[in-house]
Amino acid sequence: MKKILIVEDDVDLNTTVSKFLKLKSFECTSAFDGKTAIDMAYEHNYDLIILDVKLPFFNGFKVAKKIRENSNIPIIFLTSLNGEKDTEKGFLAGGDDYITKPFSLSELHLRIDAILRRMYKNESKIYIKQNIVFDSQNLTLYKDNKLLHLTQKELSLLILFLQNRDKILTRQEIFEAIYDYNEQENEASLRVFITKLRKIIGKEKIETMKNVGYRYVG
């Protein structure tokens, strides 16, 4: 599970982004000022930082420069500032991407995924079995070198399992990860998704934990 540090002094926005990304199977930690962000980046290993520009103590540009002295961790700037000079300043400070407020959570998620696939491309091929390979960079599944079609929900479920190998996932955790806010959770549909994946990767790879949920055997 990828770890993200969210640095945003607007408590409501920080909480909203954190809740959304947790539903997308990220582990999120929050900071609300520049000094705390620098300390946390030194003390912990994160896979990506979402960094607001206007922060107490140190602004986001200064935070990024400080982090860049010791780390190449990907940084996405969040800002209400406009103009090419601000964008340029963000990239010169060490940012990998730049999103202007207001923004959609879906756009943020897509940008995060794109950066993580690019930065950690050495992990792109995951061998589920010798003849079954998942390409995490292109989000495609191959069996015997043939591309297999998965629905969006089936794909999201497979990614969730691969990110949580050998961990028991409750049905509620799965629902929160693969269903959007405005969708109705559906137990019957989940069983259909599980059945489809088992037919592809093998029944033994996804264990049913009675009255709890499921576990992917990695």
List the structure tokens of 144: 């015997």
Local structure of 148: helix, strand or coil: strand
Q: Among residues 130, 136, 127, which one has the least CA distance to residue 218?
A: 127
Q: Within this chain, do residues 105 and 148 fall inside the same structural domain, yes or no? A: no
Q: What is the CATH number of the domain that holds 145?
A: 1.10.10.10
Local structure of 109: helix, strand or coil: helix
Choose the final residue of a domain: 63, 87, 119: 119
Q: Which residues of 29-48 are buried (b: 16+ CB within 10 A; e: fewer)?
A: ebbbbbebbbebbeeeebbb
Q: Within this chain, do residues 101 and 143 fall inside the same structural domain, yes or no? A: no
What pLDDT score does 178 carry? 83
Is-above-0.85 flag for pTM?
no
Q: What is the CATH number of the domain that holds 70?
A: 3.40.50.2300
Local structure of 214: helix, strand or coil: strand
Alpha-carbon distance 12 to 15, whole Å? 5
What pLDDT score does 160 carry? 87
Choose the final residue of a domain: 119, 147, 181: 119
Q: Within this chain, do residues 176 and 146 fall inside the same structural domain, yes or no? A: yes
What pLDDT score does 182 carry? 63
Overall domain count for the chain: 2
What pLDDT score does 35 carry? 96
Helix (H) or strand (E) holding 75: strand 75-79
Q: Within this chain, do residues 97 and 145 fall inside the same structural domain, yes or no? A: no
Q: Within this chain, do residues 191 and 100 fall inside the same structural domain, yes or no? A: no
Choose the final residue of a domain: 62, 89, 119: 119
Q: Among residues 24, 22, 26, 28, which one has the least CA distance to residue 5?
A: 28
Q: Within this chain, do residues 147 and 187 fall inside the same structural domain, yes or no? A: yes
What pLDDT score does 181 carry? 61
Alpha-carbon distance 201 to 203, whole Å? 7
What pLDDT score does 81 carry? 67
Residues of the chain with pLDDT under 50: none
Looking only at the bridges linking them, the beta strands covering 125-129 and 132-135 are: antiparallel
Provide the residue range defining the domain that includes 188: 124-216
